[in-house]
């Protein structure tokens, strides 16, 4: 079981084993399926972009497929949240299913909705739950879809494009791809880590 999980969270292993189809499936799952939060979205796209620059993947299919998978995944997450979210968010002390979340989500998206959908694309874990919470919070789908498309485009192009440009500009960077991926992972989790730390400090003051 550990080996399976390890394989599914290592960008190079995913790409070498599953190819483009695997990349699209991971992006789709991480964008809106409840269990997809542990997948390595940012580092996966960067690595895929880099490998595309080396001729190992089709750049056109990569960019188009990732964008479609990201938008479709978020739409499924929204539909899931809207249909069953209120039924699963029923617990008082649960980290993931607290019944206060739908109320907070509705207020949050009414105030920050457009920016939240876009920003969430670039934050691991939050990226997975944001569309679900948008559905629970009853955000209008037309509004959600518009910013889902915009955010999905920015995220997919930014990450794959960064890897592609690096590979074209510095082919020798292939020798340092693992350290680069580690740096990307660290950078990508900083916003979430900051929020956790801030929440912890607030609780300490209470």
Q: For residues 90 and 45, give the distance between their C-alpha atoms in angstroms, rounded to a whole number.
A: 35
Which residue carries 């499924």 as its tokens?
76
% of the chain with per-residue pLDDT over 90: 23
Residue 54: domain span: 2-205
Q: Are 143 and 113 in contact (CB under 8 A)?
A: yes
Torsion on CA atoms 107, 112, 114, 117, rounded to nearest 10: -80
Q: For residues 130 and 121, give the distance between their C-alpha atoms in angstroms, rounded to a whole number.
A: 9
Q: Per the structure, how many domains does the chain have?
A: 1
* 133 membership: H or E segment, kind and range: helix 126-136
Q: For residues 62 and 19, give the distance between their C-alpha atoms in angstroms, rounded to a whole number.
A: 10
**What digits encode the pLDDT tens for the residues 78-120?**
998 888 876 776 666 665 666 665 565 566 666 666 778 888 8
pLDDT at 43: 83
Q: Which of 124-128, 131-135, 172-176 has the lowest mean pLDDT?
A: 172-176
- Flag whether pLDDT at 5 surpasses 50: no
| Mean confidence (pLDDT) of the chain | 76
- Flag whether pLDDT at 38 surpasses 50: yes
Q: Are 5 and 12 in contact (CB under 8 A)?
A: no
């Amino acid at each position: 079981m550990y080996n399976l999980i390890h394989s599914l969270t290592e960008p190079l292993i995913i790409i070498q084993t599953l190819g483009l189809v695997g990349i699209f499936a991971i992006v789709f799952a991480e964008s809106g399926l409840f269990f997809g939060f542990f997948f390595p979205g940012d580092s996966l796209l960067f690595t895929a972009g880099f490998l595309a620059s080396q001729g190992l993947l089709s750049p056109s299919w990569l960019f188009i497929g990732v964008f479609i998978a990201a938008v479709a995944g978020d739409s499924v997450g929204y539909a899931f949240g809207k249909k069953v979210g209120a039924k699963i968010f029923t617990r008082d002390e649960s980290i993931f299913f607290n019944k206060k979340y739908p109320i907070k989500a509705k207020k949050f998206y009414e105030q920050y909705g457009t920016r939240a959908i876009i920003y969430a694309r670039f934050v691991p874990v939050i990226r997975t739950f944001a569309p679900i919470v948008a559905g629970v919070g009853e955000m209008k789908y037309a509004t959600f879809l518009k910013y889902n498309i915009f955010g999905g485009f920015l995220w997919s192009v930014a990450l794959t494009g960064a890897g592609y440009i690096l590979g074209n500009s510095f082919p020798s960077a292939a020798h340092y791809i693992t350290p680069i991926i580690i740096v990307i992972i660290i950078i990508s989790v900083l916003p979430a880590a900051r929020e956790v730390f801030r929440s912890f400090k607030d609780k300490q003051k209470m």
